[in-house]
Amino acid sequence: MMALKKHNPGVREEEIQLLQDQGMALHQHLQSARLRLDAIRMIVTLA
């Protein structure tokens, strides 16, 4: 995200912090996610 700020100085610190916070929240949710067989069937059906 800091690379984004290097390429675009208009990116505010608040935006970078928000993206980092959202990334951490996503990571925490993925860590607690459980595999469900019906989810696998849906993916296979749609694919």
Compute the distance between CA of residue 40 and CA of residue 10 in angstroms, rounded to an integer: 42
Q: What is the DSSP letter of 9?
A: T
Output the pLDDT for position 17: 93
Compute the distance between CA of residue 5 and CA of residue 43 in angstroms, rounded to an integer: 37
Report residues of the chain scoring pLDDT below 50: none
Contact 2, 16 (CB under 8 A): yes
Output the pLDDT for position 47: 53
Q: Rounded to an integer, what is the distance from CA 30 to the centroid of its chain?
A: 9
Output the pLDDT for position 33: 87
